[in-house]
Amino acid sequence: MPMLCEQCKKPIQTLILEADFGADPLWCGQCLANLDLENLPLNEALLTELTSWMCNFGEWINLETDSFIEGMEHLAKIHDDQGIILAEAVATELGIKVTFSPYLLD
């Protein structure tokens, strides 16, 4: 049974992994709707890793001053590197293409 996007009502053929404040990190590749991790057939260990990665998003930003902290490039790079690994893990688990959207652009 294919996974359906609740927003566009189409089978999910591709996903985007992108961290954002207040949103789960997986998005429908067709309509860009944010997807609920709990509705995807991912194993518990991978769900935990994705949730942890999501919660660490923006640790390089001082939210009180809306500014970057010292060493932000290093922290964001580590987060992006973890995102690449997670995107590959999700793609393997679900058998579909997963595109990673990094915070830092090369």
Tokens of 30: 């067709």
The model's confidence at residue 48, banded by pLDDT at 50, 70 and 90, is very high
Of 48, 45, 46, 50, the closest CA to residue 27 belongs to: 50
Tokens of 41: 């057939």
Q: What is the pLDDT of residues 24-39, one digit of tens each?
A: 999 999 999 999 999 9
- Cβ neighbours for 74, distance < 8 A, ≥ 6 positions apart: none
Q: What is the pLDDT of residues 49-97, one digit of tens each?
A: 999 999 999 999 998 999 999 999 999 999 999 999 999 999 999 999 9
